């Protein structure tokens, strides 16, 4: 199934400056794995190891955080939108 992954500005340098990418997959984990296979430099930005997302990367499927769903096992439907949202820290 084709899914659209929205890429935040901070990660676009790892995906040829694309803002969104069509990827095949039936779960969030499979879809992100396929994305990482296409863009190996991105893999190191979103994964701690081959299967665990970095703590600062939040993932939303059609607006819902996967932490409230089934995590990386969350099913995605044809035409779904996955949004990667890296946490941003700062202050004074």
Q: Which tens digit of pLDDT belongs to each residue from 28-47?
A: 999 999 999 999 999 989 98
Instruction: Quote the pLDDT of residue 55.
Output: 85
d(CA 1, CA 26): 6
**Reduced 3-state DSSP string for 7-75:** CCHHHHHHCCCCCEEEEECCEHHHHHHHHHHHCHHHHHHHECCCCCECCCEEEEECCEEHHHCCHHHCE
User: Which domains, and CATH codes, for the chain?
Assistant: 2-86 (3.10.20.30)
Tokens 């899914």 -> residue: 3
| CA distances to 25, 44, 76 from 79, in Å | 11, 26, 8
Instruction: Quote the pLDDT of residue 86.
Output: 86
Low-confidence ranges of the chain (pLDDT < 70): 89-92
């Amino acid at each position: 199934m084709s899914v659209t992954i929205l890429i935040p500005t901070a990660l676009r340098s790892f995906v040829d400056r694309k803002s969104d990418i069509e990827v095949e997959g039936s779960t969030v984990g499979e879809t992100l794995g396929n994305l990482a296979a296409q863009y190996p430099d991105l893999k190191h930005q979103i994964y701690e190891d081959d299967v665990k997302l970095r703590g600062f990367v939040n993932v939303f499927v059609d607006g819902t955080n996967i932490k409230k769903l089934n995590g990386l096992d969350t099913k995605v439907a044809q035409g779904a939108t996955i949004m990667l949202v890296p946490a941003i820290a700062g202050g004074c």
